[in-house]
């Protein structure tokens, strides 16, 4: 394909950034089932499952916490995000501009876009651990922050380039890739975990529980890692995608849905991806730990390669890719608001460069649990603002989409809600000692109440 032809194709991609989705662009629920399965049976799963093992989760706490937390996550998509997305049929960013004003929305979008870049960067780093196997890439460690070799830098740059190109081509290609890859990736996860169970001592179903408690999820954290309980697992599995559902970021995806019921399509990602894939990757990591001379060495690629060979390498590469693609796409939509006259693909190119630079730092992978929790917490208050503006303010005869109606650059009710909610959460963390994983729930109720109260006071 010639460069001019590629440019024409990119310019022809229409993502309806500042208008409702037309009827011709609406998609059936099956599109979302595959998208969520692909995105959540992905690179993060090769990191989060092992990190639960590293944090000393017990078997009962893991399985019970994942069950409750993932059910709550599906309900958050289906009952909070999807109904608003289908009703409005515009992106999160355009909706926030109507409510908050262009200046405040641009500030939010910069934070949002950068968080998406860092998340996508961690997935490019995951893929790099698999690509690096033939090159004897030194394994990153749980304590690593900076790149540990020139080979790592080169591999990350190449993967980042390919991932960015796919994201530039728009939603349809991203959805196609996700639907194509998801079933195969899930099977590799499960097959690899089953393959190593005999090596752990599981020769029948009756052996599993005892082996799981003594060799996989032992309840004892690795050196330097904090201890996790049922509540850590439950709240993390519920809120690891807090920015997407309660934070309303997936308005930008679910606006294409024919019904709010498409939000239930997230069940594919939560249970095929999170529940089963986190469990499977934890099993794979436990085998890696039994054979590793350095218990702090951590790389999803070698872990999957040990259990599934070349198929494991390919799975890690594709898994990181299918997570990074929609994440870069979302980041492009967020930052596009800074310069609306730019085509989305040009903004996505810039986003891809930022993402690739971030991917050079292994710390994004090693601290993924904390980063994901922080990311969701930073963006959650604006999701509460949208919820209150759509459902609560009309019942109280308060003005909705105030910034658009009054031509405000900043709706201070929304701005103060964002700031004060984060101050409240920070106070709970520093003064009361509540860990970051548990701050999202009280924070959401505080943000909702603040926005309603401030809207009334500042009307």
| Per-residue pLDDT at 112 | 82
Contacts of 104 (CB under 8 A, 6+ apart): 96, 403, 409, 410, 411, 414, 415, 418
Residues 277, 37: Cα–Cα separation, whole Å: 11
Q: Is 446 helix (H, G, I), strand (E, B) or coil?
A: helix
DSSP 336-393: HTTSTTS-HHHHHHHHHHHHHHHHT-THHHHTHHHHHHHHHHHHHHHHHHHHIIIIIT
Q: What is the per-residue burial (b if ≥16 Cβ within 10 Å, else e) of 424-446?
A: bbeebeeeeeeebbbbbeebbeb
In this structure, the number of other CB atoms found within 10 A of the CB of residue 230 comes to: 18
Distance CA 214, CA 59 (A): 9
Location of structure tokens 């599995």: 237
- Lookup: tokens for 291: 């054979």
Is 282 in contact with 217 (CB distance < 8 Å)?
A: yes
Query: Are the beta carbons of 52 and 278 closer than 8 angstroms?
Result: yes
Instruction: Show the tokens assigned to 356.
Output: 């690739």
Q: So what's the pLDDT on residue 20?
A: 66
Say how far apart CA 250 and CA 256 lie, in whole Å: 10
pLDDT at site 384:
97
Cα separation, 94 vs 53, whole angstroms: 41
CA distance 317 to 294: 24
Give dist(CA 315, CA 319) in Å, integer: 6
d(CA 169, CA 282): 34
Mean pLDDT, contiguous 10-residue spans, the chain (459 residues):
50 56 73 77 79 94 97 96 93 90 90 85 82 73 74 86 75 60 74 89 90 93 90 95 91 88 91 89 87 68 78 78 74 73 77 88 81 91 96 94 93 96 96 93 97 92
CB of 262 closer than 8 Å to CB of 87: no
12 in helix, strand or coil? helix
Residue 15 main-chain phi, psi, to 5 deg: -115, 5
3-state helix, strand, coil in the chain (%, to 5): 75, 0, 25
Is the separation of the CB atoms in 313 and 304 below 8 Å? Answer: yes
What is residue 10's predicted lDDT score, i.e. its pLDDT? 45
Task: State the DSSP string of 271-340.
Answer: IIIIIIIHHHHHHHHHHHHHH-SSTTB--HHHHHHHHHTHHHHHHHHHHHHHHHHHHHHHHHHHHHTTST
Query: Which residue in this structure is represented by tokens 């052996």?
Result: 207
Domains of the chain: 28-371 (1.10.4160.10)
Give the pLDDT confidence score for residue 175 in this predicted structure: 58
Give the 3-state secondary structure of residue 58.
Answer: strand
Strand residue runs (E) in 139-297: none
Q: Is 83 exposed, middle or buried (0-12, 13-18, 19+ CB in 10 A)?
A: middle
Q: Please give the pLDDT value at position 52.
A: 94
CA–CA distances in Å: residue 91 to residues 17, 86, 192: 6, 11, 39
Q: What is the pLDDT of residue 293?
A: 66
The three-point CA angle 281-217-436 to 5° equals: 80
What is the rounded distance in angstroms from the CA atom of residue 67 to the CA atom of residue 233?
Answer: 9
**What does the pLDDT read at residue 264?**
92
Paired tokens of 188: 């590799």
Question: How many CB atoms lie under 10 A from the CB of residue 360?
Answer: 18
């Amino acid at each position: 394909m010639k460069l001019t032809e590629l440019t024409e194709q990119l310019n022809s991609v229409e993502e309806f950034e500042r208008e409702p989705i037309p009827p011709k662009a609406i998609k059936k629920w099956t599109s979302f089932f595959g998208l969520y399965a692909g995105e959540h049976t992905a690179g993060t799963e090769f990191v989060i499952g092992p990190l639960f093992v590293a944090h000393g989760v017990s078997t009962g706490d893991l399985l019970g916490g994942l069950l409750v937390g993932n059910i709550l996550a599906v309900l958050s998509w289906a009952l909070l995000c999807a109904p608003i997305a289908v009703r409005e049929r515009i992106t999160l960013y355009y909706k926030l501009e109507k409510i908050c004003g262009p200046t405040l929305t641009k500030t939010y979008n910069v934070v949002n876009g950068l968080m998406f870049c860092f998340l996508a960067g961690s997935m490019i780093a995951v893929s790099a651990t698999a690509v690096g196997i033939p090159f004897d890439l030194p394994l990153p460690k749980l304590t690593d922050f900076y790149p540990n070799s020139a080979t790592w830098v080169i591999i990350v740059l190449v993967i980042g380039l390919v991932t960015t190109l796919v994201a530039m081509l728009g939603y349809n290609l991203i959805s196609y890739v996700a639907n194509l890859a998801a079933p195969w990736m899930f099977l590799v996860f499960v097959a690899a975990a089953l393959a190593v169970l005999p090596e752990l001592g599981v020769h029948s179903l009756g052996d599993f529980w005892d082996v799981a408690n003594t060799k996989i999820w032992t309840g004892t954290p690795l050196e330097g890692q904090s201890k996790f309980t049922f509540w850590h697992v439950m709240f993390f599995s519920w809120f690891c995608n807090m920015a997407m559902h309660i934070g309303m970021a997936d308005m930008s995806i679910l606006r294409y849905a024919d019904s709010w019921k498409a939000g239930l399509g997230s069940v594919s990602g939560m249970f095929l991806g999170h529940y089963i894939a986190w469990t499977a990757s934890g099993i794979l990591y436990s085998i890696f730990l039994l054979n590793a001379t350095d218990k702090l060495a951590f790389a999803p690629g070698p872990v999957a390669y040990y259990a599934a060979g070349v198929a494991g390498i390919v799975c890690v590469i594709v898994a990181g890719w299918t997570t990074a693609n929609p994440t870069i796409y979302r980041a492009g939509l967020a930052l596009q608001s800074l310069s609306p006259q730019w085509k989305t693909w040009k903004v996505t190119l810039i986003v891809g460069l930022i993402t690739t630079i971030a991917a050079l730092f292994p710390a994004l992978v090693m601290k993924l649990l904390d980063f994901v929790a922080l990311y969701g917490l930073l963006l959650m208050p604006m999701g509460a603002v949208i919820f209150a503006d759509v459902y609560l303010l009309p019942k109280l005869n308060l003005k909705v989409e105030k910034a658009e109606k009054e031509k405000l650059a900043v709706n201070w009710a929304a701005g103060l809600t964002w700031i004060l909610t984060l101050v409240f959460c920070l106070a709970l963390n520093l003064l009361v000692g509540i860990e970051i994983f548990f701050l999202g729930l009280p924070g959401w109720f505080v943000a909702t109440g603040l926005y309603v109260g401030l809207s009334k006071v500042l009307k």
